[in-house]
Structure 1
């Protein structure tokens, strides 16, 4: 597989190799030249020595970031995640729910709600867990893999999960290169769709062809649809496709990341194996209540989709008015690329706005949606000041 066109062997976590791609634990895995092939400028992925402070591995760690900016404006506004600012109005379980173990029929009802929400024909194809990240970590224990091929740069939680179990991981930088990986038996191909952090979206029809190819050659396709709820491209209805596994995140779409709820969707035998590995009570009472309420509330989801689309359009307009280039089709965030991205990140931090910088790709900045008028006004003023500084 190392001879594949466009493929890069990824180092083990923490490894420093000559000419090897460097990785950021939360965001993207980079390989030389991949940005240009993604339609992004070369500097977006080029490692630079820019004196960035020691920042957390994940977005959403506001206090850890802002300790480096003691004079920043307050309150702080967190735009470092791709989490919807439009939170579902959850009815919290009564106190008595915390004093007992979850019942089996409650989890079964949650899986039924997820099957309906994601367009899966049978709840037997649904596995519920404590967030999609926990299900990513589960994959090496339930999928037979000799090697893994990622479409990148992408969320590196996938790389870390497989490498943690001693599985070699390759990266390709264009969707067409996945087909070469798919014809090699024992390969698990992984695609985030929409992708994080650049928002790249691949048509579902194209992924179906890849899944069919995997089925023909004894390989598998994992599609991480963590940001797909508010879009139109999903492969979940293809199940029970024998070579397809789909991941879905609850917290991002419903603005409730602290609930820790996610789903793995697969053909029934594989789904049953995954549930057996997870064991009893994979989801607590809050997750059970939240999922059973929100996943059936299609009116709320449609409204949230419209809100996100309007907010995304407003965000990209502000950024472009500041002379910044925006990329991506994911409605909950946008990617900005510029050589001065570290300086823009610091500038926004000084204005009390936390965005997501990637130390291994400092030409990229991911910006989420503001959730309040105050946050929008702060961002607008900060971007105006940035634009004026560049004149």
Structure 2
């Protein structure tokens, strides 16, 4: 992989680097798997002039618990993004022999650098040699969903951390969090506001107090509390967002099929395609100011998020048609 492409293989969202390498333009960022429609913050009071009150954080956790289907809000802990939450959980759980399911999110390996990689799919079995297992469901980048019942069974013998960052548009495990089944949920991806840096850990009574003590009294900003609380209570917008995601996914599938590109993985917010070499397609799209997500360890794979609107979809279709001609 050349140096220019390697820059974009760590994670998505590197528009400044894309402009530096491929030039200025009206860029379409399909590299992140974040919904391209943001919940409308508008003139919501942000509280920048003060720290959040404990009751306000608790109210946010109640709103999130209701959205996730968690019966008791005390099991839901607001955190400044799930990536940081993983790095806080690692020393709290102190696993002697952790394992991480691959391929998957690079942040899992960063939080547990001594973890043994296990290639998906996994199956529940007796006598697991690992005392902690980390995975995403839906997985990144292929959208793989691991059977929730199997994960609940596996947590009887091993602590399981399930990263459900992409689970908002689909059924998830959140209502089943326990001290042996720890679930992470992200706010920014479904609500299109990753800069808010808001996420949640869903666990039970043994872990939650230790995590709260590690986070301190003000784990998130007043603005994150205000935005998250209002957004999670906005059921009308949530239904509209779900419809936008579903409809745009169908349109994106048609564009990829017209270009003869095989979709080898999918989640509601992204598609994984096979193209050999993917580096050529990545560069071609980048020269058309369309940023996608390559993978250093999967040179034939490219991930695309959902384009926003007919104009972005048409630009992608035209660029793909030019590439395959």
* Shorter-chain TM band: over 0.9
Number of the residue aligned with 1:55: 7
Q: Write out aligned runs for 1:63-212 (5 A).
A: 63-70=16-23, 74-94=25-45, 97-163=47-113, 168-176=114-122, 179=125, 183-184=128-129, 187-212=131-156
- Give the superposed CA RMSD: 1.8
Number of the residue aligned with 2:295: 358
Aligned-pair distance for 1:161? 0.9
Aligned-pair distance for 1:337? 1.2
Aligned-pair distance for 1:363? 1.2
* Number of matched pairs: 324
Q: Distance in 2 between matches of 1:299 and 1:268?
A: 33
Aligned-pair distance for 1:169? 0.8
Residues 242 and 131 (structure 1), Cα distance of their counterparts in 2 relative to 1, 3 Å cut: closer
Which blocks of at least 5 consecutive residues in structure 2 are unaligned?
A: none
Contact 1:53–1:68 (CA<8 Å) still a contact in 2? no
Contact 1:356–1:365 (CA<8 Å) still a contact in 2? yes
Contact 1:355–1:365 (CA<8 Å) still a contact in 2? yes
Number of the residue aligned with 2:160: 221
1:238 aligns with 2:176: yes
Q: Distance in 2 between matches of 1:325 and 1:313?
A: 14
Residues 54 and 204 (structure 1), Cα distance of their counterparts in 2 relative to 1, 3 Å cut: closer
Contact 2:124–2:153 (CA<8 Å) still a contact in 1? no
Q: Deviations over 1:215-258 (max 9, x none)?
A: xxxx20001000000012x111123x341100000000100011
Q: TM-score, normalised by structure 2?
A: 0.94
Aligned-pair distance for 1:67? 1.6
Aligned-pair distance for 1:179? 3.6
Runs of 4+ in 1 over 3 A off after TM superposition: 49-54, 91-95, 175-180
Q: TM-score, normalised by structure 1?
A: 0.79
Number of the residue aligned with 1:23: none
Contact 2:179–2:207 (CA<8 Å) still a contact in 1? no
Which blocks of at least 5 consecutive residues in structure 1 are unaligned?
A: 1-48
Q: Distance in 2 between matches of 1:91 and 1:227?
A: 25
Contact 1:312–1:369 (CA<8 Å) still a contact in 2? yes
Contact 2:28–2:290 (CA<8 Å) still a contact in 1? yes
Contact 1:88–1:254 (CA<8 Å) still a contact in 2? yes
